[in-house]
Chains A and B, each alone.
Chain A
Amino acid sequence: MTARLHADGLTLGYDQRVISRDLDADIPDGAFTVIVGPNACGKSTLLRAFARLLRPATGHVVLDGKAIDRYKPKEVARLIGLLPQSSVAPDGITVADLVARGRFPHQNLIRQWTPADEAAIRAAMDATNVAELSTRLLDELSGGQRQRVWVAMALAQETPILLLDEPTTFLDIAHQIDLLDLFAGLHRAGNTIVAVLHDLNHAARYASHLIVMKDGAIVATGAPRDVVTAELVDDVFGLSCLVIDDPVSHTPLVIPKSGQWKD
């Protein structure tokens, strides 16, 4: 297993509050890595460090053997894309215009608009199924459609590595599955995907590699089949449960035992 992107002895936190200390993590190439853990376990914080939105107090995020903060910002932006947890869009922007803004790392004062940009935007809109919405205003779209447009903007960046910060939060179940299928397709097409997800069953079903975190530390990594056990869920989430084989995907399926169903 090779990992172009890895974290090396990170100390992460906000202001004086330390969330993670001496954290090492590998992002396997070509894998669909999902980071899971209870609320406030530091999973989004780790993703933000990978996306260089958060500068580690100590340690480095390393990309292709070089610390990520020693690259030019646009160089990194051509290798690592991000779907942020929340984004804002200017009033009156159309879908195509918004997706086009993902081309920023490929442009500069001299090299501006090219056919390569046009092609990348078209491909990103096709992959996310928003091509027929391209002239619509973003404000007019449903939540699910809007999230697809944001994904398209990240895809237009044409990066081999894509980071997703809670991409399915606030969507109904059909749109969640829809989006996860889209990411699975990108993974099959050879992209390296890293996502923070809340739903353990979604993680177990779609991830090829899991990173499980608790209190800022990584407590388990590996394929969902090997990692997701009743003991782990009890240890990490404090939830007693039954782990069975998902009859559809044949991945681990977590069934909580609580309240009146507790044994």
Chain B
Amino acid sequence: MRTRVGRRERVVAVVLAAVIVVLAVVALGTGDYPLSIPEVVSAVFATDGRFETTLVLEWRLPRVLVAIVFGAALALSGAVFQSLTRNPLGSPDIIGFATGSYTGALLVLTLVGGSYLSVAGGAIVGGLLTALVVYLLAYRRGIQGFRLIIVGIAVTAMLHSVNTWLLLRAQVEVAMAASIWGAGSISLVTWADALPAFVAVGVLALAVAALSGGLRQLELGDDAAKAHGLRVEPTRLALLVVGVALTAVVTASSGPIAFVALAAPQIAARLGRSAGLPLLSSALTGAALLLAADFAAQHLVPTAVPVGVVTVVLGGLYLIALLIGQARKTP
């Protein structure tokens, strides 16, 4: 609820925004038909309908915007869950919600077949159901962060095998499409798919902003939060739902993209030296991370790969480091 954001946090946010703009311009200019930075800028503002404008605005811009918006959404979701679980491992890509969203989407895709909206619906329901199952399995007189994570990792492993089974059963064409998508790719997202997702992420981001005061109170423990007049359980439930929905919306469009939700909030917290996990700079860090990862996936490896492959490799290394740190802390 507090608006007196620290000076350092504001500087970090401005720098991150600048990094995103630079990365975006470079990405818009890179490809089989390379453009220099001034050419990109003039193409964006040109009104004479030249080829460069079509190339930049119609072909390359959707992918860049998708990377920015989805990266921000994943990072926000990660920041919310890591705050709620008080644990840097309590991230939706680790505790199964992203995998569960993918399962939900796969079920819709292989059984019903479908439009973006029904797949997105399947992803959201799958994510929420997984969240519910993980929550119930981990519940023992309240939720303790580390137990939630262990249960979440176990559920993720089981869901992975369910997903594989679904793919094996599916028709070859469906399975092929679903597999590419399952690696986490934003290359196939068009304006038509992206717009509903952008609206959904925008609405959810506003919801997170409205709930952020409550999230800061929950960081103090339930007793203090309640003493300060927070409706603790409804607030926590709303944050859970919004957090799952952010991951699910992204997963529905692009398939599961790991690592961003896990790492972005922690990187942002270290950059800003903030109390807890900063929401705005987490979102900006996530946007920059996914944009950079997608650039690497397209241009820095010999053949273009889905961005999810890049983030999984980075995320695996980061996760190992985190687990070692956690194991040292837990006696």
Q: Flag whether A77 is at the interface (Cβ < 8 A).
A: yes
Q: Could you tell me the distance in whole angstroms from the C-beta of B59 to the nearest C-beta in chain A? A: 41
Closest to A52 in B: B226
Q: Which residues A94-113 have CB closer than 8 A to chain B?
A: 94, 97-98, 100-105, 107-109, 112-113
A98 to B229, CA, bound (A): 16
Q: Is the CB of B219 within 8 A of A104?
A: no
CA distance A139 to B221 in the complex (A): 16
- Mark interface residues in A69-108 (1 if CB within 8 Å of B CB, else 0): 0001111111011101111111111100110111111011
Q: Which residues of A contact B275 (CB under 8 A)?
A: 89-94, 97-98
A75 to B2, CA, bound (A): 19
Mark B110-122 against chain A: 1 for CB-CB distance below 8 A, else 0. Answer: 0000000000000
Q: How far is the CA of A91 from the CA of B320 in the complex (A)?
A: 22
The listed residue with most A CB atoms (<10 A of its CB), out of B219, B226, B227, is B227
Measured CB to CB, the closest approach of chain B to A113, in angstroms, equals 5
Asked whether any CB of chain A lies closer than 8 Å to the CB of B3, the reply is yes
- B262 interfacial contact with A, CB 8 Å: no
A window 38-92: CB within 8 A of B = 51-53, 72-78, 80-82, 84-92
Which residue of A is nearest B5, CB measured? Answer: A113
* B140: Cβ under 8 A from any A Cβ: no
Cβ–Cβ contact A84 & B227, under 8 A: yes
What are 20 A-to-B residue pairs whose CB atoms are below 8 Å?
A: A52-B226, A53-B227, A73-B231, A77-B227, A82-B223, A82-B224, A86-B221, A87-B220, A88-B220, A92-B269, A92-B276, A100-B2, A100-B4, A101-B216, A103-B2, A104-B1, A107-B213, A109-B210, A113-B3, A157-B228
Instruction: Report the minimum CB–CB distance from B99 to chain A (whole Å).
Output: 28
Q: Tell me the smallest distance from the CB of A248 to a CB of chain B, in Å.
A: 34
Chain B residues positioned under 8 Å from A100 (CB to CB): 2, 4
Inside 8 A of A87's CB, which chain B residues have their CB? 220-221, 223-224
Residues of B within 8 A of A105 (CB): 228-229
Residues of chain B with a CB closer than 8 A to A109's CB: 1, 210
B169 within 8 A of partner (CB): no
Which residues of A sit under 8 angstroms from B276, Cβ to Cβ?
90-93
Bound-complex Cα distance A82 to B286 (A): 37
Given contacts A73-B231, A88-B219, 11 further A-B contacts (CB under 8 A): A73-B226, A75-B229, A77-B229, A84-B221, A86-B223, A88-B86, A88-B220, A104-B213, A104-B217, A109-B210, A113-B4
Q: How many residues of B contact A (CB 8 A)?
A: 27
Chain B residues with a Cβ under 8 A of chain A: 1-4, 83, 86, 210, 213, 216-217, 219-221, 223-224, 226-231, 269, 273-277
- Minimal beta-carbon separation of B102 from chain A (angstroms): 31
> Contacts of B228 on A, CB cut-off 8 Å?
77, 101-102, 104-105, 157
Size range of the chain A interface in the assembly? 35 or more
Complex contact A92–B273 (CB within 8 A)? yes
C-alpha spacing A257/B216, complex, angstroms: 50
Chain B residues, Cβ within 8 Å of A76: 229
CB-based nearest A residue for B275: A93
Contact at A92–B274, with CB atoms within 8 Å? yes
Does A84 lie within 8 Å of B273, measured CB to CB?
A: no
Residues of B within 8 A of A157 (CB): 228
Which residue of chain B is the closest to A82 with respect to CB atoms? B227
What is the bound-complex CA distance between A76 and B273, given in angstroms? 34
> B residues within 8 A CB of A75?
229
Residue of B nearest to A72 (CB): B229
Q: A78 near B229 (CB under 8 angstroms)?
A: yes
CA–CA, A98 to B2, complex, Å? 11
The answer to whether A53 touches B216 (Cβ under 8 A) is no
Residues of A within 8 A of B229 (CB): 72-78, 104-105
Task: State A46–B273 Cα separation when bound (angstroms).
Answer: 40
Q: Which of B213, B226, B230 has the largest number of chain A CB atoms within 10 A?
A: B226
For A14, the closest partner residue in chain B by CB is: B141
Which 3 pairs show the lowest CB-CB distances between chains A and B?
A77-B229, A90-B276, A93-B275
Q: Which one of B213, B269, B275 has the highest number of Cβ atoms from chain A below 10 Å of its Cβ?
A: B275
The distance in angstroms between the C-alpha atoms of A174 and B129, with both chains bound, is: 53
The answer on a CB contact under 8 Å between B226 and A90 is no
* B220 surroundings in chain A (CB, below 8 A): 87-89, 101
Report whether B224 and A84 are in contact in the complex, using a CB–CB cutoff of 8 Å: yes
